[in-house]
Amino acid sequence: MNNKLTKEEVLHVAHLARIKVGEEEIEKYQVELKQLLNDVDKIKEVDGYDEERMIAPWERDAVLRDDEPGEMLNPKEVLKNAPRHSGNYIAVPIVISEEA
Partner 1 sequence: MQFLDKSIQEIHDALKKKEISPKDLVEEAFERIEKSKNLNGYITLNKEEALKQAEALEQKDAGDNLLFGLPIAVKDNILTKGLRTTCASHILDNFIPIYDATIVEKIKANDMIIIGKTNMDEFAMGSSSRTSYFGAPKNPWNHNKISGGSSGGSATTIAARDVLFALGTDTGGSIRQPASYTGIVGMKPTYGRVSRYGIVAFASSLDQAGPMTRNVYENALLLNVIAGMDDKDLTSADKEQEDFTRKIGKDIKGMKIALPNYFRSDIVSEEIRKEVENTKKILESSGATVDYVDMKYLDKAVTLYQIIAMGEASSNLARFDGIRYGYTKENPKDIEDLYLETRKNGFGKEVKRRIMVGSYLLSGDNAKIYYNKALSIRDDMKKEFDRIFKEYDLIIGSTTTTTAYDLTDPMDDPSKSFMDDVLVIPVNMAGLPGLSLPIGFGKGHMPIGLHIIGNSFDEATIYQLAGFLEKKLNLNLDSRKGEENV
Q: Minimum distance from CB of 72 to partner 1 (Å)?
A: 11
| DSSP secondary structure of 40-76 | HGGGGG-----TT----SS-SPP-PPP--------HH
Q: Minimum distance from CB of 7 to partner 1 (Å)?
A: 14
∠67-68-73 over CA atoms, to 5°? 115
3-state SS, residue 36: helix
Q: Minimum distance from CB of 45 to partner 1 (Å)?
A: 9
Name the residues that contact partner 1, by CB under 8 A. 13-14, 16-22, 29, 32-33, 35-37, 39-40, 42-44, 46, 48-51, 53, 55, 57-58, 60, 62-65, 73-74, 77-78, 80-84, 90, 92-95, 97
